[in-house]
Structure 1
């Protein structure tokens, strides 16, 4: 169920890992990726590019305010051929809508 109160912020932690292709041999390549947080009319609110070598990982941590519209998180594989693993956590924070502490109301 959606709230009538807009979110106060969106917090994103996204990690892209480029795992080792063949253990102890290597052979993998650098991968270029990009993240974009896009609002419902298609405007990019925030973006970040990243490069990740074989066996390494890169993260994007960001906070976005002004969340009155629906947003999408896009992760684009820009260049490279290696498989990647993506893990992410997205928190949507809402303002405290109570004027008083609800526990204190009789």
Structure 2
């Protein structure tokens, strides 16, 4: 029986929930991990931007993960909505880079929440 005088648990931070939902997909989790060291995990031949400064082009991500461009774009858009990566357009190509500051904030929030 629940005591009516006990205050309800505070709701979870919606941004944290969104990030955890994005990371619940193993491929998205792997992509975020690979973006930590792009030169190590992606073949960057023909890259038009510095992967450390601007990010990795969807084309290079697609070549590594072996999924359709539309699937990779959808996965990266989900990571972006969750605040885990930033997107930068270079010409007609979109490049993705980890948002290290935001990831650190989410890890800290997770630590306080759990």
TM-score tier after normalising by the smaller chain length: under 0.3
Q: Does 1 or 2 have the higher relative contact order (CA < 8 Å, sep 6+)?
A: 1
Greater C-alpha radius of gyration: 1
Higher helix share: 2
